[in-house]
Amino acid sequence: MNDMMLLAREITKREKETGKNPERFGGFISRISKAEIHIHVESLMTAADLLKLNGKYGLYPDCKTEKALKEALGIKKIADLSEMIEQFLTIQSFIKEEDDFSLIGDSILPYMKRNNIFYLEGHLAVSSFVKRGFDFRRMMTSLDASLEEIARTEGRETGILIDVSRTFGPENAMNNLNLLLDYLSSVKKSRILGIGLGGAEKSGEPVLYREVFEKARKAGLRHVAHAGEESPYTQIYDTLEYLKPERIGHGISAFQNETLMDELAASGMPLEICPTSNLLTKTFATRMEDHPIAALMSRGIMVTLNTDDPLLFEVELNREYAQVYSHTELGLDDMITLLLNTVKATFMEEEAKDRLLARITGEITEELANFK
């Protein structure tokens, strides 16, 4: 164990006796550079963005303020994952014309800055746009231009995974993959890295998407899949078997099965955990105190920390870290492990990953020296 982790353990031990210091942690976490790897970029648009689109198209004519609009959309009032997906599709439907699409790309950098994020990997769910006649190539070109601008002006890196989506069935998913392959074959450089499988977990068994993932894998695309946010641990097994993903989105139901937890730990399979999302979709916990994140980490599983949907869940990455620190048994040392795991689980090139890890380690070491 290196000096930084030894010191973090020491502080954690002390905090077990004296109690945690959420205020000090809040300052600490906001100053540390971070990565995030499970976030749906449509949900980086703000309520102010939606209000503008609402004014342009008169979607909810009575809503003149952000508060009224959030109320009308039922933000944070969902009953389960299916309702959340409905809400997500409603938010997407605010983007009526291709010209509005650049709002999504424009919303990424402000979020990264607010949370001191230097590498962000997000999902984009293209199905509803494609179905409404948006041109896939033009959407990707616009997004790639936004991401290039973020790198050029801010030195922050990004990657996008196209959500082939289980909400609209396997044929639609294959169509999304084919559109992506066609786009990637025509450009020299792109930050669109591969595919993800999102959407209502109960509506599509992983086996249905086996061919889509096989094709993506053979084409050298990165590939991840949501499983185990509302589905039982058996769906995580099926996802691993049929889709062979490089990471599991959520995967929290793994806590139901000892053997699966051991297998996940042994294989180093990263879980992209988004606690607030899990609490609001309510399947396995409704209070942070009851979330299985600490149980999964204590088994040695590679857990990463993410927000999923900032707009819909009113969550930000800094706050997510603060909530987990304040309301679970995880200590400062565990929070550092989460910070580092999330970078290690990214699809960055090794050299860039090492650079970011070194930078974060340096920042943490400096901060810990002030933890008296």
Interatomic CA distance for residues 92 and 40, integer angstroms: 11
Least Cβ distance, residue 231 to Zn ion (angstroms): 13
Q: Is residue 36 at the binding interface for Zn ion, with CB under 5 A as the rule?
A: no
Residue with Cβ nearer Zn ion (144 or 230): 230
Interatomic CA distance for residues 35 and 33, integer angstroms: 7
- Which amino acid appears at position 371 of this protein? F
Name which of 243, 183, 248 is nearest 215 in CA terms.
243
Interatomic CA distance for residues 123 and 126, integer angstroms: 9
Residue with Cβ nearer Zn ion (88 or 325): 88
Residue with Cβ nearer Zn ion (198 or 331): 198
Least Cβ distance, residue 123 to Zn ion (angstroms): 6
Q: Which of residues 263-282 bind Zn ion (CB under 5 A)?
A: none
* SS3 at position 34: strand
Place of tokens 């995580």: 236
Q: Which of 15, 308, 320, 334 binds Zn ion (CB under 5 A)?
A: 308
Interatomic CA distance for residues 360 and 46, integer angstroms: 28
DSSP letter for 255, please. Answer: G
For residue 175, what are the β-bridge partners?
none
Residue with Cβ nearer Zn ion (38 or 70): 38
Q: Are 249 and 225 in contact (CB under 8 A)?
A: yes
H or E segment to which residue 228 belongs: none
Q: Are 163 and 197 in contact (CB under 8 A)?
A: yes
Interatomic CA distance for residues 358 and 77, integer angstroms: 40
**Using CB under 5 A, which of the segments 177-185, 235-243, 284-292, 300-308 binds Zn ion?**
300-308
Residue with Cβ nearer Zn ion (54 or 341): 341
Least Cβ distance, residue 40 to Zn ion (angstroms): 6
Least Cβ distance, residue 41 to Zn ion (angstroms): 11
Residue with Cβ nearer Zn ion (167 or 361): 167
**Using CB under 5 A, which of the segments 27-35, 94-102, 166-174, 305-313 binds Zn ion?**
305-313
Residue with Cβ nearer Zn ion (228 or 331): 228
Interatomic CA distance for residues 348 and 328, integer angstroms: 30
**Using CB under 5 A, which of the segments 23-31, 68-76, 251-259, 302-310 binds Zn ion?**
302-310
Residue with Cβ nearer Zn ion (109 or 312): 312
Least Cβ distance, residue 298 to Zn ion (angstroms): 24
Q: Give the residue nearest to Zn ion (CB).
A: 308
Question: Within its chain, how far is the Cα of 213 from the centroid?
Answer: 20
**Using CB under 5 A, which of the segments 14-22, 91-99, 308-316, 341-349 binds Zn ion?**
308-316
Least Cβ distance, residue 29 to Zn ion (angstroms): 22
Interatomic CA distance for residues 226 and 249, integer angstroms: 4
Interatomic CA distance for residues 116 and 118, integer angstroms: 6
**Residue numbers at the binding site for Zn ion (CB under 5 A):** 308
